[in-house]
Amino acid sequence: MSGASFPVAPLAALDTVWIQVAGTLCNLACTHCFISCSPANDAHGMMPLADVVRVLDEAERLGAKEYYLTGGEPFLNRDILAILEAALAKGPVSVLTNGVLIRPDTARSLKALSDASEYSLDLRVSLDGWDAATNDAVRGAGTFERILAGARNLAAEGLNPVITVTEVVDGAGTREGRAHFLAFLRQIGLSQPRLKVMPLLRLGAEEKRLRGYAPDETLEGRTLTPEDLEALQCSSSRMVTSKGAYVCPILIDADDARMGATLSDTLRPFTLSHRACFTCQEFGLSCRT
Amino acid sequence: MTTVDLGPFRRIGLFGGIYSNYLALLRAMEIARSRRVDAIVALGDFGAFGPHPDRTVEILRAERIPAIQGNYEESLSSAADDCHCGYTDPRDNAFAQVSYDYTRDNTSAEHRAWMGTLPSHARLTVAGRRVLLCHGSPRKINEFLFETTTPRAFIGRLLDEHGADVVACTHTGLHWSRFLSPGRGIVNVGALGRPANDGRTNVWFAVLEDRGGELAAEFVPVDYDHARLAREMRAESLPAEFVETIETGWWTTCLEILPAKERARGRF
């Protein structure tokens, strides 16, 4: 990469703190997962409550605005309810989940935690198709019905989930695709459907499922405007896993995306030399809701 | 970013987004004056949503009410294509565009030029507390500061970074306040333009005052002739969804941006 010039994204403010509470451990092994989560992947490990609380305390000292908890599958972490309680004491929380483990009693516990806090709790539930054939091809046999059950359990408790769809579903992000998905969600019982559509990140398992990045999919030699930079999530967020503090939730498998041991080590600019940076810039991707 | 210093006040009325609701504006002015405020300041977003946007601007200018820019004034005065409200869902943006197009087409060039002269921020003091007025947040004109997504630690950081004891803002359409300690916190003054998504037709503004030597904040409801506003909106062929909100007090549009709890309190 000598002679190559990449744009640099300053950290304007540490607003959003991501914590990978379940590491790369997941009960599923989706074929498009950009960090290749699975039951056997402990590249990043489960984070016990005490470790998460340390991150939350540091984030609070730094004046963070919001928290995102992810994995892998956060509901595999046996401390997840205590973690959520601790996080909700400090600010609004979003949890990214495959929804498959959210039984009615879990949904009731989540509602109780939400009610006890001043702040909002959001559940982001991943779904990759409006029929079992499309979804299960990516997420695994039988997952479609289990995801919908989890989403319905949340809605029944008044925790209206945000359904996250990737562009594995052809045309999901178009006007027609969105309209179709929203109609489908209403039809399965979500009366106020909330939807987020994510472009594909051609990393991890996704590289085998479809493809990796093409040579011209890069930010090399590009100049980004202040508006471009502000729109990138790395201008206002950072991620902490069991292995340290990273620039964002996407690049946790990249050694040079690890900026240090703790959040305080990440308060500096980042050079956008990774292929995934292209996706963020080109498609306006943000992992935030 | 430009800041105007307004000086000290004993009691001040703060008006949030007016959204062309000139009838609520007139009523709010009456109420504020009956409470003997020293002054009224408008925190931007004079247009959008309602009918005859020029009427609101004319009242503000004729009454010489100090004002700061909202995203609407910034967009209109710079001939932007949309309101830059900061919505992320296409459903919200579709209605926002209808609103912006109507407002732009019904705001005179002279008023739009005036909007460009407004500062983005204002500072004043109440009971010795430094109050910073902004539209969305101190750092961004269209940042949403909702009650359930603006935590204490973040409020403390904003106050420290911007040299204020109290930040007063609007932009969300929902009034709330959170104080870290007496005289130190955030007051979102709500909006005069549309009801607070609570099934009631009244709208809101805020009063900050010196109460026993300390800054106190109060939210004041405004009952106004909403039936007349609804008639005028229909006559202007504004969307039925907008009229329904005025008549019922429930938001029907631009609600995908709401955080979970605020959304759950509404009807849609």
pLDDT greater than 60 at residue A250: yes
Contacting residues of A for B158, CB less than 8 Å apart: 63
Interface residues on A facing B, Cβ-Cβ cutoff 8 A: 13, 15, 59-66, 90-92, 114, 118-122, 158-160, 175, 178, 192, 194
Chain B residue with minimal CA distance to A174?
B90
pLDDT of residue B88: 87
Q: Can you tell me the distance from the alpha carbon of A108 to that of B46, in angstroms, rounded to the nearest whole number?
A: 43
DSSP chain B: --EEEEEEESEEEEE-B-TT-HHHHHHHHHHHHHTT-SEEEE-S--SSSSS-HHHHHHHHHHTT--B---HHHHHHHTT-SS------SHHHHHHHHHHHHHHHHTS-HHHHHHHTTS-SEEEEEETTEEEEE-SS-SS-TT----GGG--HHHHHHHHHHTT-SEEEE-SSS--EEEEEETTEEEEE--BSSS--SSS---EEEEEEEEETTEEEEEEEEE---HHHHHHHHHHTT--HHHHHHHHHS---SS-TTS-HHHHHHS--
pLDDT of residue A255: 87
CA distance A111 to chain B (A): 11
pLDDT greater than 80 at residue A2: no
Would you put residue A204 in left (φ > 0), alpha (ψ -120 to 50) or beta?
left
pLDDT greater than 70 at residue A3: no
- Cβ count within 10 A of residue A66: 27
Residue A177 identity (one-letter amino acid): G
Chain B residue with minimal CA distance to A93?
B149
Residue A2 falls inside a structural domain: no
Map out the domains of chain B as residue ranges. 6-265
A63 vs B156, B178, B264: nearest CB: B156
- What interface predicted TM-score (ipTM) does this complex get? 0.96
Q: HSE on the CB side for B235, CA within 13 Å?
A: 8
Contacting residues of A for B261, CB less than 8 Å apart: 114, 119-120
Contact A88, A116 (CB under 8 A): yes
Is domain B6-265 given the CATH code 1.10.3720.10 in the classification? no
Structure tokens given for A14: 């540490």
Residue A52 falls inside a structural domain: yes
Question: Residues B131, B135, B139, B145: what is their CA dihedral angle, to the nearest 10 degrees?
Answer: 90
Tens digit of each residue's pLDDT (9 = 90 or more) over A92-149 = 999 999 999 999 999 999 999 999 999 999 999 999 999 999 999 999 999 999 999 9
Using DSSP, state whether A165 is helix, strand or coil.
strand
Chain A residue with minimal CA distance to B264?
A158
Residue A1 falls inside a structural domain: no
Cβ distance A63 to B262 less than 8 Å, yes or no, reads no
pLDDT greater than 70 at residue A42: yes
Q: Can you tell me the distance from the alpha carbon of B105 to that of A123, in angstroms, rounded to the nearest whole number?
A: 41
Residue A7 falls inside a structural domain: no
Calculate mean pLDDT across residues A157-184: 94
CA distances from B60 to A58, A127, B27, B192 (A): 46, 50, 13, 13
CA distance B87 to chain A (A): 12
The tens-digit pLDDT sequence of chain B (268 residues) is 899 999 999 999 999 999 999 999 999 999 999 999 999 999 999 999 999 999 999 999 999 999 999 999 999 999 999 999 999 888 899 999 999 999 999 999 999 999 999 999 999 999 999 999 999 999 999 999 999 999 999 999 999 999 999 999 999 999 999 999 999 999 999 999 999 999 999 999 999 999 999 999 999 999 999 999 999 999 999 999 999 999 999 999 999 999 999 999 999 9
Residue A47 falls inside a structural domain: yes
Instruction: Domain count for chain A, please give it.
Output: 1
Supply the CATH number for residue A184's domain: 3.20.20.70
